[in-house]
Amino acid sequence: MCTGGCAKCLGTTLIPLAVLCTLANILLFFPGGKVVENNEHITDEVWYFGGILGSGVLMIFPALVFLGLKNNDCCGCCGNESCGKRFAMFSSIIFAAVGLVGAGYCFIVSALALNRGPKCHTGTEWTYPFQDGDYLSNHTLWNACKSPENIVPWNLTLFSLLLIMSGIQVVLCGIQVVNGLFGTICGDCKCCGCCG
């Protein structure tokens, strides 16, 4: 397979992941699926926009670059540096690094949010009632959150999805770094004999 074809496949996968991460982050602004009366009642990590900026906006740029790499005439430019094929593959490494940073940011924010737990009303005040992820293994602690209703499973599900999807994005961007290196060194296609 041409390195440009591999990049297109990666770009095609990254776009729906970026959209899903953005939607998950937006849903977190509605704790328990309800509109809050006060923005201070939303978990702090939601405001870091890990899914919107990190795995969303910053992931769209690499995905579009990866998709565009396949549009070049594969064997017509193979091994010919003047056509810019190798430079295009090199630039894809830079965009893959941008994607790695964005997805890594989302991954870290999601992990921190899962460890800290949601902000909720305990009956007396709005606070973070959980310590160091203790609620993850002990579901009886979830009763500490009186409102918003179902806030713990809501945050747990959405931040877990963000964690998983951003992890997948990290892996895909890592694959493109390796793919881009091969494309830069060998040219775009094995079919032209650039590597052998």
Its domain, for residue 22, covers 3-32+42-72+82-186
pLDDT surpasses 90 at 68:
no
> Residue 146: inside a domain, yes or no?
yes
Residue 191 lies in a domain: no
Counted domains in the chain: 1
- Spell out the SS3 assignment of the chain: CCHHHHHHHHHHHHHHHHHHHHHHHHHCCCHHHCCCCCHHHCCHHHHHCHHHHHHHHHHHHHHHHHHHHCCCCHHHHCCCHHHCHHHHHHHHHHHHHHHHHHHHHHHHHHHHHHHHCCCEECCCCEECCCCCCHHHCCHHHHHHCCECCCHHHHHHHHHHHHHHHHHHHHHHHHHHHHHHHHHHHHCCCHHHCCCC
Residue 16 lies in a domain: yes
pLDDT in tens, 135-185: 999 999 999 999 999 999 999 999 999 999 999 999 999 999 999 998 888
Full-model pTM: 0.87
Structural domain includes residue 51: yes
pLDDT digits (tens, 9 = 90+) for 77-127: 444 544 567 788 888 999 999 999 999 999 999 999 999 999 999 999 999
Kindly state whether residue 138 falls inside one of the protein's structural domains.
Answer: yes
The band of 1, judged by pLDDT with boundaries at 50, 70 and 90, is low
